[in-house]
């Protein structure tokens, strides 16, 4: 039996020098985690379409 695929993101791919990473089973769940992290760690008040696209581009599926 194979392990389920999951989505993974490294904040360092978006924000240089940040060591935060997260994984989730769905892109939606991972984006929620990434947005929460951006708010807390990077003082992001609103996720712009550009930022959302950058974050989505940084998501890897394993
Ligand atoms: Zn970060």
Confidence of residue 5 (pLDDT cuts 50, 70, 90): confident
pTM comes to 0.85
The rounded Å distance from CA 37 to ligand 1 centre is 6
36 vs 3, which has greater pLDDT?
36
Residue-level pLDDT at 2: 61
Domain boundaries defined on the chain: 7-61
The rounded Å distance from CA 61 to ligand 1 centre is 19
Question: What are residue 7's phi and psi, to 5 degrees?
Answer: -95, 145
Task: Determine the Cα–Cα distance for residues 7 and 58; give it in Å rounded to an integer.
Answer: 10
C-beta of residue 51 within 8 angstroms of C-beta of residue 34: no
Residue-level pLDDT at 15: 92
The rounded Å distance from CA 5 to ligand 1 centre is 23
The rounded Å distance from CA 10 to ligand 1 centre is 8
Task: Determine the Cα–Cα distance for residues 24 and 62; give it in Å rounded to an integer.
Answer: 10
pLDDT digits (tens, 9 = 90+) for 6-59: 999 999 999 999 999 999 999 999 999 999 999 999 999 998 999 999 999 999
Q: How many CB atoms lie within 10 A of CB 5?
A: 9
């Amino acid at each position: 039996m194979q392990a389920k695929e999951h989505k993974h993101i490294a904040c360092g791919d978006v924000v240089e020098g940040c060591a935060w990473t997260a994984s989730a089973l769905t892109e939606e769940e991972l984006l929620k985690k990434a947005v929460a992290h951006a708010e807390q760690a990077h003082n992001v008040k609103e996720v712009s379409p550009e930022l959302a696209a950058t974050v989505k581009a940084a998501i890897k599926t394993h």
